[in-house]
Each structure stands twice: as C-alpha cells, then as structure tokens.
C-alpha cells in the first residue's frame, strides 16, 4: 500500500467515524461500510417492534380480547426491521 493509498483509506475511515482497522475489516467482510446512523436507526426500529410484540403478548396473556392481532402485519413489520439490520 502506498502512503497515498493509506491516506485515502484513513480519510474514508475517519469520515465513517471508524478506526482504520475497523474500516478495512468491514470492507473485507461486508464489501461496504454501514454508516453508524443506519445501524442506530435499525436498532431503534427493531426495539420498537419488540416492544409492540411484548405489549400484544402481555395483553393476550391477561385475557384482553379487545386486542386484535393481524399476525401477517406483525410479521411484515418484524421482517422489515430485520432486513434493515442485515449489514
């Protein structure tokens, strides 16, 4: 690697708020670097879906029959959140 190559890669790593080794590892394994804000947003979304599922299950266990669960919709929402996390 030339000094110029290293400087370019270091700049790219810095713009992603990553160390040089983390940047290179991510590129080698994933073929791309996932921006940190995308990871944070995906985790928030997955947590939201998990909280909703937990509330639904709790209501059903307590015998609340007013809760209507459209399982295909719940599964679609969960799949969307999981797809966002596939890095």
**In the chain, what are the domain boundaries?**
1-33, 35-87
Q: What is the mean pLDDT of the chain?
A: 84
Predicted structure pTM score: 0.53
Task: Please report the pLDDT score of residue 9 as a whole number.
Answer: 92
Q: Are 84 and 41 in contact (CB under 8 A)?
A: yes
Q: Please tell me the distance from the alpha carbon of residue 81 to that of residue 87, in angstroms, as a whole number.
A: 12
Share of the chain above pLDDT 70, in %: 97
Tokens 């209501």 sit at which residue?
Answer: 59
Binned at pLDDT 50, 70 and 90, residue 4 comes out as: very high
Q: What confidence score (pLDDT) does residue 10 get? A: 94
CA distance 80 to 71: 14
Q: 68 or 58: whose pLDDT is higher?
A: 58
Cα distances from 40 to residues 5, 19, 43, 78, in angstroms, run: 30, 18, 5, 16
């Amino acid at each position: 690697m030339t000094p110029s190559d290293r400087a370019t890669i270091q700049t790219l790593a810095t713009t992603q708020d990553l160390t040089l080794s983390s940047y290179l590892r991510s590129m080698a394994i994933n073929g791309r670097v996932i921006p940190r804000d995308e990871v944070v947003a995906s985790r928030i979304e997955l947590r939201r879906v998990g909280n909703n599922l937990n509330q639904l299950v709790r209501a059903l266990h307590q015998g609340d029959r007013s809760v209507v669960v459209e399982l295909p919709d719940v599964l679609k929402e969960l799949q969307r959140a999981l797809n966002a996390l596939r890095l």
